A and B are shown apart, each in its own frame.
Chain A
Amino acid sequence: GAGVSQSPSNKVTEKGKDVELRCDPISGHTALYWYRQSLGQGLEFLIYFQGNSAPDKSGLPSDRFSAERTGGSVSTLTIQRTQQEDSAVYLCASSLASLYSNQPQHFGDGTRLSIL
């Protein structure tokens, strides 16, 4: 596809379950970003990948959150033992190069996660 693709678009799960969110960036984009937007709140930066590596993981909210990227393409954000406060829209973006360069980010439509 032409844009950033995220799946699933909606996920409803019970508290305590694990969830995996997927982001498929634009082909050729080396940089990939994950954000979270809770209801009525601003955007919260979670993690950034340059290729397969994430230079700083301190933006992840807790150790229940992990993210990986393989092959310099698809990324997954995993939340273990979900809590109600994890309910949010999780957005992914990609860009041609890193945070160091003047390249715009292209955003997916997000995954709306609801924890019951």
Chain B
Amino acid sequence: DVKVTQSSRYLVKRTGEKVFLECVQDMDHENMFWYRQDPGLGLRLIYFSYDVKMKEKGDIPEGYSVSREKKERFSLILESASTNQTSMYLCASSYGGYEQFFGPGTRLTVL
């Protein structure tokens, strides 16, 4: 079974803090993705990565950066957290086909 794990289920941070969200997959997948999910706005792609050290912007990259130093790990960084980044963050991985495997999500609250 593919397993995608995320470092925290719930996180509370203060405005201006630097926030790291970690995602690890155990199936040697090439592709990894970070989404945020908000009521009424659905699943929006922040960044994705096709290979180690490679990254591409998704639909809403502003205010975020990513890091992929190892194939199994994809990190999302909020350089200076703001209240409008309060959301559910979902990480996913895929082997390049149609199916994405999602982690359980991190619910981030920025106060």
A-B complex is real:
no
Query: Which residues on B are within 8 Å of A, measured CB to CB?
Result: none
Residues of A in contact with B (beta carbons under 8 Å apart): none
